[in-house]
Amino acid sequence: MIDVAPGDFTPFLRNLRQAGYVGGNITIPHKERAFSLVDRADDAAGHIGAVNTVWLEDDALCGTNTDWTGFSDNMDACAPGWEQVETAVILGAGGAARGILYALATRGIERVRIINRTRPRAEALARDFAGLFASPIEVCEWQSLPEAFAGSGLLINTTSIWMEADGAPVPDLSPLSSRAIVSDIVYIPLQTPLLAAAQERKLTTVGGLGMLLHQAVPGFEHWFGIRPEVTEDLRNLIVRDMENHR
Ligand code: ATR
């Protein structure tokens, strides 16, 4: 991993080849800037407004966003048929939520409710993605979570709200559908309080580490010409590495 200060990011990206790189993954806070700097970006990156994977093709710097495929590939692996839900609820309206909204739209989910601490951010997201869903995106309040959860078959947390041990309590999940899938994109800790609460209710849960692994697959293929497989062994290797760096 290379720490690049925001002020150094433009020259860093422009000089990628000269520095000996074939490409890379980009993370917070550079994803939006990367989108504006690449020579070619695909539709996904355009809709999401952020690039997390870059690679060189001849003289062109190409960019895409693999957060959304990372999310949907992980869901396919852990909860096959997940896209057959009618209503999905997303907690959060940051960069990760944008990628996930794109994944939901691409997989044909019709109805989405967004809840975010800062409501105008959720409203902006609802406007940006309006054309991709059959029904208008609903923006709900934290205070009315039970109504927002009512009957929903898929809940996705994209916020860091429950990352701290002494953070806010996990909301009551009982209004969700009894067959709901609960997905948390947070992977530190692997078992988040939200996932634990969902398991207590015997709901299907999907953790965030798989999304991290799956989002890296297309990048690796662009850089090295080999499409890696996300396996249990790979997952265990990363888990051990995370434990060593705690
Ligand atoms: P990312 O790219 O990972 O989505 P981000 O763009 O910083 O990161 O977004 C973080 C999300 O977590 C936002 O939806 C943020 O809410 P705000 O838009 O109100 O900032 C949400 N978030 C972070 N900490 C939170 C907290 N303590 N309570 C509720 N929401 C929180």
Counting DSSP H helices and E strands in the chain, the numbers are: 10, 10
Give the per-residue pLDDT at 135: 93
CB-CB contact of 211 with 190 (8 Å): no
Residues of the chain with pLDDT under 50: none
Judging by beta carbons within 10 Å of its beta carbon (0-12, 13-18, 19+), is residue 164 exposed, middle or buried? exposed
Give the per-residue pLDDT at 165: 67
Pocket test for ligand 1, best of 26, 117, 118 (most atoms within 8 A of CB): 117
How many whole angstroms separate alpha carbon 49 and alpha carbon 43?
10
Give the per-residue pLDDT at 167: 75
Active-site annotation, residues: 31
Ligand 1 centroid–CA 221 distance in Å is: 31
For residue 95, which atom of ligand 1 is closest to its CA?
Answer: 2
Give the per-residue pLDDT at 66: 97
Give the per-residue pLDDT at 126: 97
Pocket test for ligand 1, best of 128, 159, 187 (most atoms within 8 A of CB): 159
Q: Alpha carbon of 108 to those of 86, 112, 134, 150, 175: distances in Å?
A: 9, 11, 9, 20, 23
Q: Alpha carbon of 39 to those of 65, 87, 223: distances in Å?
A: 14, 37, 17
